[in-house]
Structure 1
Amino acid sequence: MTRKLKIGITCYPTLGGSGVVATELGKLLAENGHEIHFITHSIPFRLGQFHKNIFFHEVEVNNYYVFRYPPYDLSLASKMAQVAEMQKLDILHVHYAIPHAVCAFLAKQIHGKGLKTVTTLHGTDITVLAQDESLKDLIRLAIHESDAVTAVSQDLIRETRELLDITTPIDLTYNFVDKRVYYPRDTSSRRGDYAAPDEKILMHISNFRPVKRVGDVIDIFRRVSEHVPSKLLLVGEGPELSRIQCQIREMGLENRVHFLGKQEDVAEVISLADLMLLPSEKESFGLVALEAMGCGVPTIGSTAGGIPELVSHGETGFLSPIGDTADMARNAARLLTNPSMYNQFRSACIKRAYGEFCNERITREYEKIYYRVLGMEAELPVPACEG
């Protein structure tokens, strides 16, 4: 019988794709019988109610007066080592090279008893931080000192190798969707709050950073709404929000755009939409497109980063060059005005999400990596994932 593991997980616990994936993975691993210990500065927002086999360890930072800034990284490394010792952890799985993989490296040195570490690269640690020459060596160290490294897309693996001259193996482990959570919901009772019966709903969900090109979202919607009666729902918050509000006012679209802010029940919100808009200029994977796919909502997006690995062009959505809002709008209008094509895309979305990116399959891939790193034999049958 395969021994169950004690796994420490560190991630950013607030809103963000990496934190969502790390938290959902921890919950799935716990369902499989592993003991999961989250080591973060606050409870991950997707953790929710009590879960058997899941424990939370808060990282507290001492604001010692000689430090200009509270030394979170050092406190995290110390807490990792402490939890590893007290709970007899087999492995630390950290999400993001900076700072978490570096902290895990320090924790290994403190612990000194063969503690293993797995690092998952999600994107920003490579696409943004690795552009900073002052951080490159630190990121290389974090990657080289990890016992295994995973990345969420082939494109991210390519960029990691090119930017950092990394030759060590990197496992491709796509993000996943839990079909028990992400499925088409019946939102007929709520849809009327945002759109008339003859109107379509377009949606964008993000943290409203410049790389998300939310201005392009507005331009796509403006173009679509000239031909298709529609409304736009914007979900999330971030630094670009004020600028986008001004853009909407200047275009005279105030009555056609709804701001929903941050939402916890993402599947319920996505199910309101007819199309998801994702025109990003950088996107290592595009988790929101996968979540939309699970809910049967096609994506209109860009060819940035890992999006083409997720969205099958002409089957589960349409992809255009970054910034080509005219082409994106034409594709959106084409889908929204062709019910037969739309229904085909909707079915293909669910099939692809539940088949290629199902939670059982990706969780099993992570388990194989853990056992490989630990040098343990494990009987892990491949789950049957079907759309």
Structure 2
Amino acid sequence: MRILVISNMYPSPSSPAFGIFVKNQVEGLQAEGMDLTVAAIRDPRTEKWNVLKKYLRWVTHSLLRFTRNYDLVHAHYAFPSGWLARLHYRIRKVPYIVTVHGGDLNKMAQKGSFFKKQTKRILEDAAHVITVGPDLYKEVTSKYNIPEERVSLLNMGVDRSIFYPRINERNPFQTNRQQKHLLFVGNLIKEKGIEELLSAVARMYYDGQNVRLHLVGAPKSNDYEQKLHEFVQTLGLEECVQFHGPKSQDDVARYMTYADLFILPSHIEGFGLVALESMACGTPVVASRTGGLPFLLSGGAGTLAEPQNIDSLTSAIDEVLSNSEVQKCQINAGFGKAESFDARSIIQEVVNLYHRAVEEKSTQ
């Protein structure tokens, strides 16, 4: 089976975490014998000229792929990736599957009537729609009226051969038993709630708590990265906030293992895979009550804070850091969640969906 994967996010040597979840799934599918070709954007920068250039290159590259024979197209994100997959379907009659990750419905489809109509058409014509979180599943089936038999709730899964407690490896943080290390991993964008996190850390710092915040991830905009550095200076947090830039998955797993608390204060979030990866490393989690995170952190696997609410975020962080029993319960529940969302079993479900989509096409 030959499959074309189209994605507007994919890692590169300079941006190793950009769309890494797509690359992980691609490699997992290849290990199962799938013949995959990838047409993807590998540059996270959002400056206007760069956006125009990279999207033109990506669209051209994807259209050139249409001259080859594929059995199936798998698009990550409804728009714009799904738009290219639907175009392939209409030109070559090749069925496609689209994975909805959250930003495509919660952000892109809300930009105007054109994007909303295109998103609806993309979902309607797809052979199957994969949603990574329960809120997205509900939105696709109720708001966009896609029949439930053509929609699956299937997150990207955690690779537990990478994300596990690396207690025998070098501690990447300064060894200070009195200091609490807080960790954020993700793109440095406003929607991730980094400004609220910095404000919460400032409250704790000036309250006399010995905390240090580690920010791991690549900026999509140099201007926003500069704004964050200036905000750190304004808050007087130069001594307790550290920007580490993008890191490999192995490095991220080490950071997660030795962090006292992982924090994901997103404004919107489809599923929150990075929180699951932290659970697999045995680290307690505080995250926003948005998207798939309440589902992921249910059963005592984490503590929820209201999105864009500094008071709520500060209280949630304090609650976990000050209570060792809460930490132990979260760690145990988190291991259970990581086991239930293991990437290997999810990969097999994706393979089954591939076969089903191709078989249905052959009987039409």
The corresponding residue for 1:152 is 132
The offset of 1:38, in angstroms, is: 1.8
Q: How many matched pairs?
A: 341
Could you say what secondary structure the match of 2:19 adopts? Answer: helix
- Distance of aligned partners of 1:191 and 1:162 in 2 relative to their CA distance in 1, 3 Å threshold: same
The corresponding residue for 1:127 is 106
CA distance in structure 1 between the aligned counterparts of 2:244 and 2:257, rounded to whole angstroms? 14
- Residue type of the partner of 1:325? I
The offset of 1:368, in angstroms, is: 1.9
CA distance in structure 2 between the aligned counterparts of 1:368 and 1:243, rounded to whole angstroms? 46
The corresponding residue for 2:317 is 332
- Residue type of the partner of 2:3? I
Comparing both structures, which one devotes a greater share of its residues to helix?
A: 2
- Distance of aligned partners of 1:72 and 1:109 in 2 relative to their CA distance in 1, 3 Å threshold: farther
CA distance in structure 2 between the aligned counterparts of 1:228 and 1:134, rounded to whole angstroms? 49
The corresponding residue for 2:36 is 36
The corresponding residue for 1:223 is 203
The corresponding residue for 2:187 is 207
- Residue type of the partner of 1:346? I
CA distance in structure 2 between the aligned counterparts of 1:244 and 1:187, rounded to whole angstroms? 34
Structure with the larger RCO, 1 or 2 (CA within 8 Å, 6+ apart): 2
CA distance in structure 1 between the aligned counterparts of 2:57 and 2:229, rounded to whole angstroms? 35
TM-score with structure 2 setting the length: 0.84
Could you say what secondary structure the match of 1:375 adopts? Answer: helix
Contact 1:187 1:272 in 2 (8 A): no
The offset of 1:373, in angstroms, is: 1.3
Contact 1:130 1:139 in 2 (8 A): yes
- Distance of aligned partners of 1:333 and 1:107 in 2 relative to their CA distance in 1, 3 Å threshold: same
- Residue type of the partner of 1:263? K
CA distance in structure 2 between the aligned counterparts of 1:235 and 1:107, rounded to whole angstroms? 37
Mind listing any 5+ residue stretches in structure 1 that lack a counterpart?
Answer: 45-66, 377-387
Could you say what secondary structure the match of 1:350 adopts? Answer: helix
The offset of 1:40, in angstroms, is: 2.9
Q: Tell me the alpha carbon deviations over residues 31-77 of structure 1, each in whole angstroms, 9 at most, x when there is no partner.
A: 22222222335599xxxxxxxxxxxxxxxxxxxxxx99974465244
Identity %: 25
CA RMSD of aligned residues (A): 2.8
Contact 1:213 1:280 in 2 (8 A): yes
CA distance in structure 1 between the aligned counterparts of 2:204 and 2:283, rounded to whole angstroms? 17
CA distance in structure 2 between the aligned counterparts of 1:192 and 1:211, rounded to whole angstroms? 27
Mind listing any 5+ residue stretches in structure 2 that lack a counterpart?
Answer: 45-51
CA distance in structure 1 between the aligned counterparts of 2:232 and 2:256, rounded to whole angstroms? 22
Q: Are residue 21 (structure 1) and residue 21 (structure 2) matched?
A: yes
CA distance in structure 1 between the aligned counterparts of 2:40 and 2:192, rounded to whole angstroms? 27
Does 23-32 or 266-275 show the bigger shift? 266-275
The offset of 1:300, in angstroms, is: 0.8
Question: Matches of residues 247-258 of structure 1 in structure 2 within 5 Å?
Answer: 247-258=231-242
- Distance of aligned partners of 1:69 and 1:118 in 2 relative to their CA distance in 1, 3 Å threshold: closer
CA distance in structure 1 between the aligned counterparts of 2:164 and 2:269, rounded to whole angstroms? 23
- Residue type of the partner of 1:353? A
The offset of 1:192, in angstroms, is: 4.3
The offset of 1:182, in angstroms, is: 0.5
Q: Tell me the alpha carbon deviations over residues 251-279 of structure 1, each in whole angstroms, 9 at most, x when there is no partner.
A: 22110111101112322232231111112
- Residue type of the partner of 2:10? P
The offset of 1:223, in angstroms, is: 3.1
The corresponding residue for 1:383 is none
Contact 1:303 1:320 in 2 (8 A): yes
CA distance in structure 2 between the aligned counterparts of 1:73 and 1:170, rounded to whole angstroms? 27
The offset of 1:325, in angstroms, is: 2.7
